[in-house]
Structure 1
Amino acid sequence: MVGIEDIQRAATRLQGQLLNTPCVESRTLSDIVGAQVFLKFENLQFTASFKERGACNKLVDLSEAGVQGVVAMSAGNHAQGVAYHAQRLGMRAVIVMPRFTPGVKIERTRGFGAEVVLHGDTLDAARAHAQALAESEDLSFVHPFDDNAIIAGQGTVALEMLDQVPGLDTLVVSVGGGGLIAGMAVAAKARQPGIGIVGVQTTRFPAMVNSVQGTQHPQGLNTIAEGIAVGTPGVLTREIVMSLVDDLVMVDEGDIEQAVLMLLEIEKTVVEGAGAAGLAALLRHPERFRGKKVGLVLSGGNIDPLLLAAIIERGMVRAGRLARVRISSRDVPGMLARITATVAEAGANIDEVHHQRAFTMLAAQNVDIELVLQTRGRAHLGDVLDALRRSGFEAQEQH
């Protein structure tokens, strides 16, 4: 098992190679969840993820052993971490990615100097091809999480957090294959034995929960937290989680969406789904953390801009700040102008208008008008609907 000495050695080695990211309190989030919340901004690393730590530690090991080239399998953050640090160390890097990998991730990985090979439709197929390339081209395979040097590198996150915020009661860490939580658990328990370590998985990928707790939660096909969408946890990481992690909790897609949006609005920071899982756990299980001094790792910020836009829009709908309203009225000249004037006087903004005559069950002289409105929230939306009804229109929110 990885020991604290391995992690301290990694911390010394990583000095000057990557960012010692800030860990600061969010007073607003603390008020919302009822705990003192400290955020570790690993999304500020150069490749926008903690994965750089393990990759750098492992590659320095390999470089010192005379290895000239490495191969890795990843559709995301591990790929960029390996590619970037291989380039810095003058090593050849081959990254195998599944064919479905978004083009932006492929280009970013190539931008760090790696050779990208697209192979297979699943992560398992890509991993098998990467291991075959390791043998055929004399490359060292760099596993994304089930490797002692990787685990030790990731554990440096906890050392930094405990240096920056002494006396943390609990660390809350997202869990995929388990590399981050395993390293952090070893470091934190050695430094501060009474500290609590809580792992977070999405309900769609509960592999570590099932493996450690003996449950049989079904596995889904996709999640917005793709960074922790791992079907099989690591052998080394599972052993550490079994012995050192105090609890594993699960969150659903809506919790993660809400956490991404809150971090954007409140902290003005962009975090990917996996990086927001810790905050999602505090929102889903507030009683578990109430009154505690909690450290959350914002583990990465590589989120697709279109997905982020969709999360923002869906969050505005849930909050009533973006609403679809159907208004039925008589189809006479000037009626649409009266409706829009009423909405304007109530202080809402019209985003879209759809004027429907043919596809309706109303009488022929009536019309359905659908508006998408921007409001200040649920209470304001209620005021807008009341104003429309007082003006003689039938108005209701459409879900």
Structure 2
Amino acid sequence: MTVRAVRAPGRDDLESAWRAVSAELAPTPLVPSGLVKGALLKLETFQPTGAFKVRGALAAVAALPDGVPAVTASAGNHGLGMGYAAAKAGADVTVVVSTRASQVKVDKIGAYPVRLVQHGLTYDDAEAHAMTLPGHYVSPYNDPAVIAGQGTIGRELDRQADGPLTVIAPVGGGGLLAGLSLWARERGDVRLVGVESAVSRGVYASVSAGRVVEVEVGETFADGLPGNLEPGCVTPEVIGDTAELTSVTDDQIRTALRWLFHEHGLVAEGAGAAGVAVVLAGQVRITGRPIVVISGRNITVPTFTDAIREV
């Protein structure tokens, strides 16, 4: 695969993203929880698309030069976010999905004013095709505006919670953790903990190596977490030593989904519960007040009911 030249985002990107995101989205709730003493849950499940990725999509569309279309590949939360951003901005957006993508998700994306293209059998096929189309390719995680957009969660926390804080967030491609790292370095009293799937530790491996490395990826029902990074991806560089990285198993995530449902009446997707899973497992050293980002709720009913079924 050709290595794209992607620059790392900086403070100016975070400022621009905050203007774009705060103009369109109300702050998501920060609610007290009995998870551990003083815990708070940042509920990105209340976003209009059901997940935090609408932040990065709004920032990316706002950053497009006049007249330049956007192209992306996603049959998940990023695709929904780009659809929402297209509707808000009147932007020209193409979303490429594989022919095997979930029809439910494809239909949701297609309900937005986007050009929907189905190509190939896998996400990699769809992504490779998307990169050949005219326009600016907006990666779900390897894009400076997307990363900065996800970091606007932190700008809301500035207004919602006094420090010091330990902020715990899920990690797939690292866009969310990278965005929070931008913010945390600016704020100064925040510890960050990123939570990967135990069967897919590409960000940890790449941060440790100081370069993007490929890892073996196993099976998990938490489909927002697994996968290797795009060659040349900037998220490991942006994260650096600002965050600690740990991992959870599918069984730990299922326990967290049950806990969120029973204790808070909340539905989350697998990736969205990863932070709760790592706290319940006692794998996090907490400094100050713990905030867990519940990143999304887009899970099918059968998958959710199967996950929360008592063993």
TM-score, normalised relative to structure 2: 0.91
Offset of 1:57 from its aligned partner? 0.9
- Structure 1 CA distance, aligned partners of 2:133 and 2:19? 32
**Offset at residue 252 of structure 1 (A):** 0.4
2:52 to 47, 50, 53: 50
Percent identity, please.
33
Per-residue deviation, 1:48: 0.6
The residue number in structure 1 matching 2:35 is 29
Shift of 1:77: 0.3
Matched, 1:202 2:208: no
> In 1, distance between residues paired with 2:305 and 2:142?
34
Cross-structure match for 1:369: none
1:99 partner letter = T
Shift of 1:16: 3.2
2:138 is the counterpart of 1:142 = yes
Answer yes or no: is the 8 Å Cα contact 1:173–1:199 preserved in 2.
yes
Aligned to 1:87: 87
Distance 1:217 1:55, change over 3 A: closer
Greater relative CO (CA pairs within 8 A, separation 6+): 2
4+ residue runs of structure 1 moved beyond 4 angstroms?
Answer: 214-218
Q: CA deviation at 1:206?
A: 0.8
Matched position secondary structure for 1:227: coil
Q: Which residue of 2 aligns with 1:18?
A: 25
Determine the structure 2 residue equivalent to 1:335. Answer: none
Q: Residues 94-243 of structure 1: matches in 2 within 5 Å?
A: 94-134=94-134, 139-191=135-187, 193-214=188-209, 219-232=216-229, 235-243=233-241
Structure 2 residues without counterparts, runs of 5 or longer: 1-7
3-state SS in 2 of match to 1:201: strand
User: Which position in structure 1 is the counterpart of 2:70?
Assistant: 70
**TM-score, normalised via structure 1 length:** 0.71
Task: From the superposition, tell whether residues 236 and 108 of structure 1 become closer, same or farther in structure 2 (CA, over 3 Å).
Answer: same
What per-residue deviation string (whole Å, max 9, x for no partner) do you get for residues 171-201 of structure 1? 111111111111111112211x242111110
| CA displacement, residues 119-176 of structure 1 (integer Å, 9 cap, x when unaligned) | 2222221110001123xxxx22111111111111111001111320111421111111
Superposed displacement of residue 83, structure 1: 1.1
Instruction: Report the 3-state secondary structure (helix = DSSP H, G, I; strand = E; otherwise coil) of the residue aligned with 2:24.
Output: coil
Contact 2:221/2:250 (<8 A) preserved: yes
How far residue 213 of structure 1 moved from its aligned partner, in angstroms, is: 2.5
Give aligned pairs, total: 301
Q: How far has the Cα of 1:276 moved from its partner?
A: 0.6
- Asked if the contact 1:204/1:218 (under 8 Å) is kept, the reply is no
Q: Distance in 1 between matches of 2:53 and 2:98?
A: 19
Q: Which amino acid is 1:46 matched to?
A: P
1:100 Cα deviation from its structure 2 partner = 2.1
Partners of 2:196 and 2:245 within 8 A in 1: yes
Distance 1:275 1:241, change over 3 A: same
Alignment RMSD (CA, Å)? 2.0
Secondary structure class of the residue paired with 2:224:
helix
1:291–1:131 Cα change, 3 Å: closer
Secondary structure of the residue that 1:209 maps to in structure 2? helix
**1:258 matched residue in structure 2:** 255
State the distance in 2 between where 1:149 and 1:131 align.
18
Q: Greater share of helix residues, 1 or 2?
A: 1
- 1:3 partnered with 2:3: no
Which structure has the larger Rg over C-alpha atoms?
1
Asked whether the 8 Å contact 1:250–1:281 carries over to 2, the reply is yes
